[in-house]
A and B are shown apart, each in its own frame.
Chain A
Amino acid sequence: MLSFILRRLAIAIPTILLIIILSFVLMHSAPGGPFSGERSLPPEVLANIEQKYGLDKPLYQQIFVYVSGIVTEFDFGPSFKYKNQSVNDLIASGFPVTLVYGFWSFVCASLIGISLGVIAALKHNSWPDYAATGTAILGSVLPNFVMAPLLVLLFTVYLNWLPGGGWEGGQIQFIIMPVIALATSYLAGITRITRSSMLEVLGSNFIRTARAKGLPPHHIILRHALKPALLPVLTSLGLSFVGMITGSVVIDQYFSTGGIGQHFVNAALNRDYSVIMGVTILVGSLTILFNLLVEILYAWIDPRIRY
């Protein structure tokens, strides 16, 4: 097991480095810099600024300084646009918000999705199955940027129950709509995967054996069927996690929640390179680490996987 984890880490770390280098090179090969705005600065001033941010050094030195800053001090450097604010400050202000609604939508999507999928499989070809499958199909064509305006239309414009945006320290009425908007399409995916893998497991021989020897139905489902059926779901949970962080770009933009996605889009529009890079690297590393976690869990649950 340990060697498996180490081997996976040996792939993960170069991948993270590659993300850093790739985004760095992309950023610096782009035409126009963060300081080439509408009014052009005098060359001396520009040279001064570039010296301050270390942009006058050769590229490999810049990469080295940047990477070693991240690795040794977890320092993503200063923001190019907002003076006196570092990328770390921006991430620290945005990430907790994203984590709150991301976490809740992850929980909702997995719990509801798995339950719906299991119910659909147990009541195969009856109305609960059709209802769950219908929900899954409809949900898969309702991405977060479609759900967000529809929810606002329903809950804010017509029913006037919930505020149309804002965060206010994460009070419950501000969290509900971001969570639903973010969770819908992943809920659909999880339902579909759970249903099909549960159906497959329920048709297998060991379940028939369990039935034949007279085990109570709930025992068969919870103890025997659920564990193998949830293995494919686990993989999709990894993907959902990434999707939720990516989705924060839309959620923050539409609901003005002030999460990490908002900083990312603002930085993208302002060409604030250090912030874009910081967020990309952070999300990339989180993605890789989360996938690693899923793989380890997978190997731990399923003894058939050799590591």
Chain B
Amino acid sequence: MLLNPKKIQQLADNLARSEHDSEELKGRSLWQLARARFARNRAAMISLITLLLIVVFSIFGNSLSPWDHEQIDWDAMGDVQILGTPSIQSRHYFGTDDLGRDLYARVIQGSQISLMVGLIGSLIAVVVGTLYGATAGYLGGRIDALMMRSVDILLAIPFMFVLILLMVMFGRSIYMIFIGIGLLSWLDMSRIIRGQTLSLKNREFIEAARAIGVPPLTIITRHIIPNVLGIVVVYATLLVPGMIMTESFISFLGLGVQEPQTSWGALINEGARTIQNGTLWQLLFPLAFFIVTLLSFYFIGDGLRDALDPKDE
């Protein structure tokens, strides 16, 4: 039988290539795989870009407008319904509020505060919740029962009412919101992490660490937490919109952020009050930012969950 040298060469090439490919595949870590999966999720990628744009806007947007968030446009103030409408000529891109302040600048100011609340709130939840849950799960026994029982009791308290209570008692300010949200946001997180820790605890690598005498705290921080990080990331992303919503809820009631500071909730409240005057832009601009941001976080969280949990593949 005559062998076609060309064909053999081709075969050899193919073999070599596939071997090369599999070597590359072997080198990819869980996080690299997750990143590739995330990048393939179109909704999540679009949301990520949108969110980045909103963040960039809230940091640098001010340089595009001549108006400051405290400055009052006296001309527009007298006749907001006509002179305060959004326009390029007056350089009030989003119009003005009822006091003649530039809404574009106010929305930027509100975005900064709302995004910060979301970020700091979930940061507290991540740090406290992860440590608390991992400790309870790892130590187990009576300490675990005590720690989780107190979480159950705290969860039974109506969160929003306590938050309002705190705002009333200790003054309405953005710092009080941070403290209030921080005090209560970690509860769910700690439960989830505890459950994960329980299933990790009896695995061989933890046993090995224990056998060579690694102290419990080091096991928790070095071996357990890195392994629950995927769930922490997903859950933290899904927490951010919740935090933003809570802050906006409180601010909508007028109990949260106080003038001259503002947030999306406070702006939506202002816009909602003047709804009968026909100054619609005062409601719709902050509302659009609020909804688009929440939707983006939702899709990103969803995408991350799919990316880090390859069960479906």
Contacts and interface: CB of A to CB of B under 8 A. Distances in A.
A112 interface: no
Nearest to A279: B161
A284 B157 contact: yes
Interface string A264-292: 11001101000010011001100110010
A288 B160 CA distance: 15
Interface stretch (A39-47, A135-143, A204-212, A225-233): A135-143
Contacts, number: 111
Interface in B164-192: 164-170
B158 A287 contact: yes
A145 B295 contact: no
B244 to A, nearest CB: 10
A246 B164 CA distance: 11
Interface string B246-287: 001100111100000000010011011001100010010001
Contacts of B287: 146, 150
A27 B169 contact: yes
Given A26-B166, A141-B298, A143-B249, A254 B156 contact: no
Nearest to A143: B245
A298 to B, nearest CB: 16
A157 interface: yes
Interface in A141-175: 141-143, 145-146, 148-150, 152-153, 157, 164
A294 interface: no
A98 interface: no
Label chain A's interface by main secondary structure: helix
A53 B164 CA distance: 24
Given A23-B165, A141-B294, A268-B255, A146 B268 contact: yes
A145 B248 contact: yes
B165 A276 contact: yes
A249 interface: yes
A276 B249 contact: no
B275 A246 contact: no
B161 A11 contact: no
A253 interface: yes
Given A148-B272, A157-B275, A242 B158 contact: yes
A146 B298 contact: no
Contacts of B252: 145, 250
A68 B58 CA distance: 53
A92 B159 CA distance: 23
Given A137-B298, A264-B161, A287-B156, A276 B291 contact: no
A137 B249 CA distance: 19
Interface residues of A, number: 47
B162 interface: yes
A19 interface: yes
B195 to A, nearest CB: 15
B19 interface: no
A273 to B, nearest CB: 9
Given A246-B160, A276-B165, A141 B241 contact: yes
A283 B158 contact: yes
A185 to B, nearest CB: 9
Contact of A164 (B254, B255, B276): B276
Contacts of A22: 157
A181 to B, nearest CB: 11
A59 interface: no
A280 B158 contact: yes
A118 B271 CA distance: 37
Contact of A249 (B159, B160, B276): B160
A249 B164 contact: yes
Interface of B: 149, 152-153, 156-162, 164-170, 241, 245, 248-249, 252-255, 265, 268-269, 271-272, 275-276, 280, 283, 287, 290-291, 294-295, 298
Given A146-B287, A249-B253, A283-B158, 8 more contacts: A27-B165, A140-B298, A141-B241, A141-B298, A153-B275, A153-B283, A271-B168, A284-B156
Interface of A: 11-12, 14-15, 18-19, 22-23, 26-27, 29-31, 137, 140-143, 145-146, 148-150, 152-153, 157, 164, 242, 245-246, 249-250, 253-254, 264-265, 268-269, 271, 276, 279-280, 283-284, 287-288, 291
10 contacts: A26-B165, A27-B165, A30-B169, A140-B298, A141-B290, A145-B248, A153-B280, A250-B253, A280-B161, A280-B162
